[in-house]
């Protein structure tokens, strides 16, 4: 029976579907039927390795509780992640096996109500950034079938970009969760290592592997991350989730100096990178050129150092026993290089530590990096002719990220005159995932490129803050440049925004305080200008330590801001204002001190 719901122009965005379900304008059953119809009509046969039977997916759609976090959201997983009921091949038919249980992250999605549509194609054993090293075919760029889609998570990226699923899981060791996103105009979220469990994932480099998320928007990807992240005792590489804040109002962003901008002669992508930097500056971000030398030196270790041996540790024995059945390029990379010794491994670790120390100097001057995701894009035929060198080129700006324990989010950043997509990546230290999603969301919308093949508009969505961060509003001696501001910055707090309180607050210059301080008091029914405030973000632990230092008559309570939000903030005991001066009409403490 035909659905009564119109799914022809269906927006499969995660948050868009949740809103449609809540409004009753769509049902999971209608959406899943539409998804399978789209797959039937898809012109690219290489996207999928296996599909969940339509009847099974529809049965799940009819039964899913709509109050589940991802109820009725269709998704796909790269075929090196286990899913109960479907075989895992890792892109190699003779390697196939049927897992007894799903990967930790896949099971979490199913428990949250998401509906698994199928397993997607990949560079065999997740070895490659091109998407052509698979006996199941090469998924093509959604904008031009002559061009590669990027790998190794090729099928997952194309499935999202082509509107076949709402989001997809990939993996990322050298850039596999970011390069395909750039080539297909979608978001690629590469979480902090260990934030998402890799239990149930066929490893590439076990110490570096990450499960990645492809989505249409940063808000969608962040919503999925919050569902699947969590400490997994079964994964020795799993780490408890925590959050590290970044400035959201005016972050200092490191960009490539002109001499370091290598685009392999591609003038179009070079111009698009310059435009993305200009758009970032237009958002009020501080742009600083960096020395990318230490990052590039670290990147060279991934394939020129002992980490190649880790790929052999993962699947080398199998490939050696079945070489004729494996992709020759993959087999050559894993088996044919010189076998590093234990001494080589330690020397590689020492070299990486030296590069980390050099990179640390960069992080003292910037909050995040804004780099090209890939310097250029190649045709399928070009990659077949020179599969190793061209693949290495694509990792120029991605290979160092997991080695240096960084988080990243890749966002769309424009189209070349020939119609190919280009992307940039925001990169920051580990556990900045939540803040990167906010910054990535703002940049994506500022660039105005939409998402996916159809360039679906990206709505102005607010990405949630991390649950273990606290926003604190200050109005006096803790403002930027004021005597007590160090009590915030010493604890790692970062400035999020400058705003005003609600209009029913009065501000008093208190008598006898050292250093001079104001007192903020709420006066219900009073209508004033609102008091200038800064909102600072810090961890819960830092907030607790900060509160212990607050002396009477000041205290930390709940403050209403001009836009209706409520945050923690400084308040004052009413008795303390008896000898103070009402300075409300000045509009803020800084204005009072400067006389402006």
Burial bucket for residue 75 (CB in 10 Å: 0-12, 13-18, 19+): buried
Q: Is 312 exposed, middle or buried (0-12, 13-18, 19+ CB in 10 A)?
A: middle
Q: Which residue in the list 176, 212, 238, 243 is annotated as catalytic?
A: 176
* List 78, 119, 190, 517, catalytic entry: 78
Judge whether 207 counts as a catalytic residue: no
Token readout for 482 is 């004021």
Nearest to 169 by CA among 181, 180, 177, 178: 177
Q: How far apart are CA 140 and CA 55, in angstroms?
A: 28
At residue 399's C-alpha, the angle toward residues 398 and 400, to 5°, is 95
Token look-up 């035909």 returns 2
Active-site entry in 152, 166, 215, 243: 152
Q: What is the sign, positive or negative, of the torsion defined by CA atoms of 174, 463, 195, 112?
A: negative
Which phi-psi region, left, alpha or beta, contains residue 321 (left: φ > 0; alpha: ψ -120 to 50)? alpha
What the block records as the tokens of 245 is 């804040």
DSSP string, 287-338: EEEE--HHHHHHHHHHHHSTTHHHHHHHHHHHHHHTGGGS-HHHHHHHHSS-
> In angstroms, rounded to a whole number, what is the distance separating the alpha carbons of residues 116 and 59?
12
- 447 contacts 276 by C-beta, under 8 angstroms: yes
Q: Say whether 215 is catalytic.
A: no
In Å, how far are 25, 149, 267, 437 from 263, measured between CA atoms?
A: 46, 18, 7, 26
List residues with catalytic annotation: 78, 152, 176
């Amino acid at each position: 029976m035909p659905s009564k719901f119109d799914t022809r122009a269906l927006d499969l965005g995660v948050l868009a579907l949740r809103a449609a379900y809540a409004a009753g304008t769509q049902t999971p059953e209608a959406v899943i039927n539409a998804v399978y119809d789209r797959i039937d009509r898809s012109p690219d046969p290489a996207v999928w390795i296996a599909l969940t039977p339509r009847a099974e997916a529809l049965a799940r759609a009819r039964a899913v509780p709509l109050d589940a976090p991802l109820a009725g959201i269709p998704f796909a997983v790269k075929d090196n992640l286990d899913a109960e009921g479907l075989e895992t091949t890792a892109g190699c038919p003779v390697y196939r096996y049927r897992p007894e249980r799903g990967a930790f992250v896949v099971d979490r999605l199913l428990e949250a109500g998401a509906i698994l549509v199928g397993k997607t194609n990949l560079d065999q054993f997740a070895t490659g950034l091109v998407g052509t090293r698979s006996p199941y075919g090469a998924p093509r760029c959604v904008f031009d079938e002559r061009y590669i889609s990027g790998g190794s998570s090729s099928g997952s990226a194309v499935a999202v970009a082509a509107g076949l699923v709402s989001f997809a899981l990939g993996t990322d060791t050298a850039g596999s969760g970011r390069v395909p996103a750039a080539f297909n105009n979608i978001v690629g979220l590469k979480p902090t290592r260990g934030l998402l469990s890799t239990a149930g994932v066929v490893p590439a480099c076990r110490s570096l592997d990450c499960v990645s998320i492809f989505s249409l928007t940063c808000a969608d990807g962040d919503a999925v991350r919050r569902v699947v992240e969590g400490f997994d005792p079964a994964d020795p590489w799993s780490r408890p989730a925590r959050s590290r804040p970044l400035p959201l109002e005016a972050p200092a962003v490191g960009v490539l100096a002109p001499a370091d901008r290598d685009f392999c002669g591609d003038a179009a992508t070079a111009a698009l990178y310059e435009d993305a930097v200009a758009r970032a500056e237009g958002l009020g971000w501080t742009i600083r050129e960096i020395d990318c030398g230490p990052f590039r030196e670290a990147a060279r270790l991934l394939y020129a150092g002992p980490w190649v041996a880790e790929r052999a540790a993962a699947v080398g024995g199998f490939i050696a026993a079945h070489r004729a059945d494996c992709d020759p390029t993959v087999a050559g990379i894993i088996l044919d290089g010189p076998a590093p010794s234990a001494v080589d491994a330690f020397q590689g670790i020492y070299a990486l530590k030296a590069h980390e120390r050099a990179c640390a100097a960069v992080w003292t001057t910037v909050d995040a990096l804004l780099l090209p995701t890939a310097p250029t894009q190649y045709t399928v035929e070009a990659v077949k002719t020179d599969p190793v060198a061209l693949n290495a080129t694509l990792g120029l700006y991605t290979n160092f990220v997991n080695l240096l324990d960084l988080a990243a989010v890749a966002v769309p950043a424009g189209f070349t005159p020939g119609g190919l997509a280009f992307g940039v990546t925001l990169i920051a230290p580990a556990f900045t995932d939540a803040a990167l999603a906010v910054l990535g969301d703002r940049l994506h919308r500022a660039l105005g490129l939409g998402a996916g093949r159809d360039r679906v508009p990206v709505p102005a969505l607010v990405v949630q803050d991390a649950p273990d961060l606290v926003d604190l509003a200050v109005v006096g001696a803790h403002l930027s440049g004021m005597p007590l501001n160090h009590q915030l910055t010493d604890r790692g707090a970062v400035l999020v925004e400058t705003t005003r309180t609600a209009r029913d607050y009065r501000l008093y210059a208190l008598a006898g305080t050292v250093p001079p301080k104001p007192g903020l008091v709420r006066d219900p029914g009073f209508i004033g200008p609102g008091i200038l405030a800064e909102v600072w973000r810090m961890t819960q632990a830092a907030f607790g330590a900060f509160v212990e230092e607050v002396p009477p008559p000041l205290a930390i309570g709940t403050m209403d801001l001009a836009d209706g939000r409520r945050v923690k903030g400084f308040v004052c005991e009413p008795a303390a204002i008896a000898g103070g001066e009402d300075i409300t009409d000045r509009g803020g403490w800084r204005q009072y001190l400067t006389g402006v």
